[in-house]
Amino acid sequence: MNGNRWQKELTGIYAVWWRELKVFQREKSRIVSSIVQPLMWLFLFGTGIGASVNISAVNYQDYIYPGVLTMSVLFGSVFFGLYIVWDRKLDVLKAVLVAPVSRISIFLGKVLGGCTDVMLQIIILFLFSFLFPSINPWGIPLAFLLLFITSIALVSMGLALGSLLESLEGFQVISSFLVFPLFFLSGALFPIDEKLPGWLVGLVKLNPLTYAVDGVRGALLNVNIFPFYIDLGVITFFAVIMFLLGSILFSRMK
Amino acid sequence: MSIIETKVLTKTYGRIQAVRGIDLNIEKGEIFGLLGPNGAGKTTTIGMLCTIIRPTSGSASIAGYDIVKNPASVRRKVGIVFQDPTLDTVLTGYENLKLHALLYGVPANLREKRIREMLELVDLADRCNDLTRTYSGGMRRRLELARGLLHRPAALFLDEPTLGLDPQTRTRIWDYIKKMAQKEQTTVVLTTHYMEEAERVCDRVGIIDHGRIIALDAPDNLKELMGGDLVVIRAQEPPAKKIKALPYVKEVKLDKDAIEITMKDAHLHLPELLSIIPDVECVEIRVPTLSDVFIRLTGRDIREDSAEDSGSWIDSVARYRQRGN
């Protein structure tokens, strides 16, 4: 009986995950734009700024490559999570929520679905890594792991916010006051060194994404500020907190 | 055998008493209609039975499972079709059913067969690989019926299944509901404020007003409350006394130029009745409907109450449209 129950919950998680993948497959234009946007950061922004900026041992484009990967995870994950506001508005979620599957399983299915979407995009971006000479391909599995944990944290955060929001108007607010600050304050585009003003260093160090960028940069370029175990520890802690918070808010959602 | 039993089921929201102590016994295989104006407590009652809304007091059980103590088992035993469409419009018809089968734990070896069976039952097998956003309102409702019955629930709940559909489609949906209930031998509990439609499909109806069940019986028995059919005859000099003496006539009311006769089975007795009235100018027969019963019981027309809700009806049409593109 108990084993049967577990199996039903697992099937429920699989069902929600499977649905997200189907939706992902159908939204080809979204996939294309989610690949093209980071490539523009790398090749247009990176080449432009890189022409007049000199950072550490590697060229600027290589330097921001880990930052742009993290940015893709950030945008993809948070907006995936926030999308449930729309699902709720259209009652798509209603039929799922009355099924004999626990809320936590539905939440887990959603998180895994979002992470899968985002990591598929990351795999495509990894295919371009050969264009950046300083990238160490052997560091990719470790970078992938760090980004995957980051994605769990951020999809959970998006779902948590999506559970609280009543309408899509909150989208813009979250984008301006949460997502962009998280990105700009993560050291994705600039190094955190003595040239930065103190207040900025303080904010950057408070941002959990800083540790994701640092860890991925360490894995791919061997350029990092914090020891690897700190990076891994901070983002894992961040993921656990966000997952718990998200599952609580999602369970209470009406 | 009772599939659904409720005892003084009550729900209050703050000071508002949405449902005030409902006692019901619904038998296996029955099509039961919960009728009443908007805001009468129909949707709240169904919500409690489906474990979506927690009752304030009282109890209820479905197929032996208590809705408060054992909601997970209740959910496995019921199928629900909500008032507003809840299909996943970015999935195909087939995928919607597959998602549901997975969520309800339909065993893998039965899944495909069951999905095909249901698609055929609602005549959507040929469209099952199209995205549901391309479906018409009637097709979406049919797919939702198929989805509601996919996991062989003991009871299927339908909340206003024909709301927002055009009259022709409404008739078809009722035909499907009847056919499916019979084929699947499922107990169906539905709400509607289209009284005439409920009359045609329901074995029994409960009329609900202000959160209370004010009448509960088979439609024909409820109509008996009206005393029979009303026949209005215009004639020069109707012999009122002679008419009143007929065994099947209950009441006779004389107007200026017409006579109103309340009687049983007007369709059978009309020829005899007319034979004793000289110079008949015109005859009108009015067979009572559930709407008349509702007016008799509440003093109001169900449509008056519904009129204020026309906004939400337009809303639901708009939602259909919105999802269409």
pLDDT tens-digit map of B192-244? 888 888 888 999 999 999 999 999 999 989 988 888 888 888 888 888 888 88
Q: How far apart are CA B302 and CA B176, in angstroms?
A: 26
At B281, the pLDDT band (50, 70, 90 cuts) reads confident
Asked if B119 and B145 count as a contact pair (C-beta separation under 8 A), the reply is no
pLDDT at A244: 97
pLDDT at B318: 44
Please indicate whether, in this complex, the C-beta atoms of A23 and B91 are within 8 angstroms of each other: yes
Q: How far apart are CA A46 and CA B306, in angstroms?
A: 63
Q: What is the ipTM of this complex?
A: 0.90
Please indicate whether, in this complex, the C-beta atoms of A15 and B95 are within 8 angstroms of each other: no
| Cβ neighbours of A14 in B, within 8 Å | 102
- DSSP assignment, residue B237? S
Q: For residue B202, give the nearest of B14, B16, B31, B12 by alpha carbon.
A: B31
**Single-letter code of the amino acid located at B228:** G
Tokens of B245: 């003496």
- DSSP assignment, residue A128? G
Mutate to test the interface with B, among A101, A117, A254 (most CBs of B within 10 A): A101
Task: Identify the closest residue of chain B to A97 by CA–CA distance.
Answer: B52
CA distance to partner chain B, nearest, from residue A245 (Å): 23
Q: Following DSSP, what letter does each residue of A75-117 receive, concatenated?
A: HHHHHHHHTHHHHHHTTHHHHHHTSSS-HHHHHHHHHHHHHHH
Reported as type and span, the H/E element at residue B168 is helix B167-184
CA distance to partner chain B, nearest, from residue A8 (Å): 6
In the predicted structure, residue B291 carries a pLDDT above the cut 90: no
Asked if B82 and A94 count as a contact pair (C-beta separation under 8 A), the reply is yes
Q: Following DSSP, what letter does each residue of B31-48 receive, concatenated?
A: EEEEE--TTSSHHHHHHH
**Would you tell me how many other CB atoms lie within 10 Å of the CB of residue A170?**
15
Q: For residue A66, give the nearest of A186, A195, A180, A227 by alpha carbon.
A: A186
Please indicate whether, in this complex, the C-beta atoms of B102 and A91 are within 8 angstroms of each other: no
pLDDT tens-digit map of B104-114? 999 999 999 99
pLDDT at B288: 87
State whether residue B284 is helix, strand or coil: strand
Mention every residue, 6+ apart, whose C-beta is less than 8 A from residue A239: A149, A150, A152, A153, A156
Q: How far apart are CA A202 and CA A224, in angstroms?
A: 17
Does B250 touch chain A if contact means CB atoms closer than 8 Å?
A: no
The total number of structural domains in chain A stands at 1
The alpha carbon of B142 is separated from its chain's Cα centroid by a whole number of angstroms, namely 16
Does A108 touch chain B if contact means CB atoms closer than 8 Å?
A: no
Please indicate whether, in this complex, the C-beta atoms of B88 and A14 are within 8 angstroms of each other: no
Tokens of B208: 């609900």
- DSSP assignment, residue A244? H
Sign of CA dihedral B45, B47, B48, B50: positive
Asked if A62 and A49 count as a contact pair (C-beta separation under 8 A), the reply is no
| Cβ neighbours of A95 in B, within 8 Å | 80, 82, 86-88, 100, 147
The arithmetic mean of pLDDT across residues A116-130, rounded, is 95
Please indicate whether, in this complex, the C-beta atoms of B104 and A99 are within 8 angstroms of each other: yes
For residue B187, the cross-strand partners are B155
Q: Which residues of B49-75 are buried (b: 16+ CB within 10 A; e: fewer)?
A: bbbbbebeebebbbbebebeebbebbb
In the predicted structure, residue A2 carries a pLDDT above the cut 70: no
Tokens of B215: 């009448």
Asked if B205 and B290 count as a contact pair (C-beta separation under 8 A), the reply is yes
Does B88 touch chain A if contact means CB atoms closer than 8 Å?
A: yes
Mutate to test the interface with A, among B77, B81, B103, B106 (most CBs of A within 10 A): B103
CB pairs under 8 A between A and B: 65
* Residue matched to tokens 């008493």: B17
| Cβ neighbours of B88 in A, within 8 Å | 19, 92, 95
Report which of residues A204 and A195 the model is more confident about: A204
pLDDT at B245: 87
Q: How far apart are CA A233 and CA A128, in angstroms?
A: 28
State whether residue A26 is helix, strand or coil: helix
**Would you tell me how many other CB atoms lie within 10 Å of the CB of residue B241?**
8
pLDDT tens-digit map of A148-183? 999 999 999 999 999 999 888 888 888 889 999 999
In the predicted structure, residue A235 carries a pLDDT above the cut 80: yes
**Single-letter code of the amino acid located at A94:** K
The alpha carbon of B226 is separated from its chain's Cα centroid by a whole number of angstroms, namely 21
Please indicate whether, in this complex, the C-beta atoms of B75 and A14 are within 8 angstroms of each other: no
Task: Identify the closest residue of chain B to A7 by CA–CA distance.
Answer: B105
User: Global pTM?
Assistant: 0.86
Does B105 touch chain A if contact means CB atoms closer than 8 Å?
A: yes
State whether residue A61 is helix, strand or coil: helix
Tokens of A141: 């599995």
Tokens of A173: 């607010």
Q: For residue B30, give the nearest of B192, B216, B189 by alpha carbon.
A: B189
Q: How far apart are CA B188 and CA B31, in angstroms?
A: 5
Instruction: Determine what percent of chain B is predicted with pLDDT higher than 90.
Output: 51
CA distance to partner chain B, nearest, from residue A80 (Å): 15
pLDDT at A125: 96
Q: How far apart are CA A84 and CA A103, in angstroms?
A: 14
Could you list the residue range(s) of the whole structural domain that residue A119 is in? 2-252
In the predicted structure, residue A219 carries a pLDDT above the cut 70: yes
pLDDT at B260: 87
CA distance to partner chain A, nearest, from residue B254 (Å): 56
The arithmetic mean of pLDDT across residues B45-55, rounded, is 92
pLDDT at B184: 85
The arithmetic mean of pLDDT across residues A226-233, rounded, is 96
CA distance to partner chain A, nearest, from residue B80 (Å): 8
